[in-house]
Amino acid sequence: WLRISWQTHSCYAELGVDGSECSFLRYLSEVESFCPIMDNRKFVKRRRKAQINRELKGLLDLLPEYKNHLVSNTFMRARLKRIWPDWLEGIQHYINGVNFSWPDSLDHCKHCSSDDMTCFNLCQSTKITGQPFLYGRPKLNILLHLEFLSNAFGDNLFETTVSRGGPLGELVQWTDLIGALYILGHRLTITYEATNAKSLLSYSDHIPCMVKGNEYDLVYTDITGFRQLYNTRIRTPLCKFRILDTFGTEAPYNRKAERWGGLHLNLQQFYTFFPHSPDNTFLGFVTEISPFKSKSDQSLSKPIALIYGKQSYMWNNKTNYLRILSDYFELHGNVMDNVDKLPKFVHIHQMQYGQPYLELMSKAQILVGLGFPYEGPAPLEAIANGLIFLNPRFDPPHGRSNQAFFSDKPTSRGVSAIFKSLLFL
């Protein structure tokens, strides 16, 4: 398109396009970032370098304060505040792991200019093998669009259910991603509504080579968000998108028009909750360690078991299963919606996820799964805090052929249990 249209507006010439193939490549790689930077010009285009950012206030200020997103905003802020000391400890541990071979070289590498090949190569060569380099990185401009929290998505379904045990897994992963990108020093813009994201990515027909709308190096969103954005007039290359995709997308469903499939992206652009497949990219999440140490109460006649089921429908047809366990454990549950029909022999709490829940978990020895949710942070979080996780085994495995929940998911894998390596009943 550039070969055909470069003479249609004077802005192309002003940006160095003169009709030659080299000028086309320079424009597409250095102005609009459609193509990789040419090898002989990698250090010509000077970019600001990312610096480690340890200031929590700046991160909290990035979160939009929309009135109709107060619940999710409160959740994300509270999580960031609780685990920010762990983020700082983690980044310092990473820095200390870099194996520099001369005194004060760490400070030296902080100040490598983007065109100083000697400095860059020397610092790069001294890092631990396989460890991404921390200094000399470009400061990326990143848009994070959380469409699943938008007012338009299911009549604001996710946002309204957060306080009732809703999509906490998704919020955990998004919050951790935002925290990671921020502490690594990148420039972040966060949106919840598609109209806001579109306004940032759109471009003008009157000045076709305006690049303000294409200034983002990466766009993180979810499947619905990608569809909302890419069906409009944005000129953001497909390769810039990163899709947070809980269950992952397999190749056949990447090309198949289904509710959660048919995006036609590189499979590595799908970022998953757990490492389901090497075809996708494993993003993961942070397991939160409780600061509370009261693991047992000797005055109790039975050890405490915490039931993993945050909404009442997850408890359906589980009464007999729980009654057997109640002979051996004092059962506690944390359910955020109607609890009238739940077993009376279970101590039911109704507390928001956060410090109160972590304190409750610190008193338990067992986390009891009910078979659903299939995936979430709670089991790994419990294990990280010293609990044993019990969960039913599915025989035959649950999947597209026998479970409505999986019928439109872009994966054909069967789930025999939440975590195969743990203890099952």
pLDDT number for residue 253: 94
Whole-angstrom CA distances from 191 to 65, 184, 236, 239 are 10, 20, 16, 20
CA distance 43 to 41: 5
pLDDT number for residue 100: 44
Q: Is the pLDDT of residue 422 over 50?
A: no
Whole-angstrom CA distances from 389 to 102, 116, 308, 378 are 47, 52, 9, 10
pLDDT number for residue 421: 38
CA distance 197 to 216: 11
Residue with tokens 């093998």: 129
DSSP code of residue 129: T
Q: Is the pLDDT of residue 337 over 80?
A: yes
pLDDT number for residue 101: 41
Closest CA to 337 of 313, 302, 318, 362: 313
Model confidence at 168, pLDDT cuts 50, 70, 90, reads confident
Whole-angstrom CA distances from 106 to 83, 94, 316 are 26, 12, 57
Lowest mean pLDDT among 236-240, 258-262, 323-327, 379-383: 236-240
pTM over the 0.95 mark: no
pLDDT number for residue 54: 93
CA distance 83 to 405: 32
Instruction: Give the mean model confidence (pLDDT) for residues 287-308.
Output: 76
pLDDT number for residue 122: 53
Lowest mean pLDDT among 42-51, 218-227, 300-309: 42-51
Structural contact between residues 309 and 418, judged by C-beta atoms closer than 8 angstroms: no
Structure tokens at 386: 């010293």
Whole-angstrom CA distances from 22 to 17, 28, 35, 237, 349 are 9, 10, 12, 20, 66
Model confidence at 423, pLDDT cuts 50, 70, 90, reads very low
Structural contact between residues 214 and 33, judged by C-beta atoms closer than 8 angstroms: yes
Model confidence at 137, pLDDT cuts 50, 70, 90, reads confident
Tell which wins on pLDDT, 191 or 45. Answer: 191
Q: Is the pLDDT of residue 193 over 50?
A: yes
Lowest mean pLDDT among 158-172, 255-269, 281-295: 158-172
Model confidence at 105, pLDDT cuts 50, 70, 90, reads very low
CB atoms near residue 299 (< 10 Å): 5
pLDDT number for residue 131: 59
Using DSSP's 3-state secondary structure scheme, residue 366 falls into: strand
Q: Could you report how far apart the first and last alpha carbons of the chain are, in Å? A: 61
CA distance 103 to 113: 20
Residue with tokens 């906490």: 168
Core vs surface per residue 12-51: b (16+ CB within 10 A) or e: beebebeeeeebbbbbbbbbbbbeebeeeeeeeeeeebbe
Q: Is the pLDDT of residue 317 over 80?
A: yes
Which tens digit of pLDDT belongs to each residue from 51-93? Answer: 899 999 999 999 988 888 888 899 999 999 999 999 999 888 8
Q: Is the pLDDT of residue 330 over 60?
A: yes
pLDDT number for residue 231: 79
Tell which wins on pLDDT, 370 or 43. Answer: 370
Instruction: Give the mean model confidence (pLDDT) for residues 125-138.
Output: 62
Closest CA to 171 of 311, 353, 315, 351: 353
Spatial CB neighbours of 104, under 8 Å, sequence gap ≥ 6: none
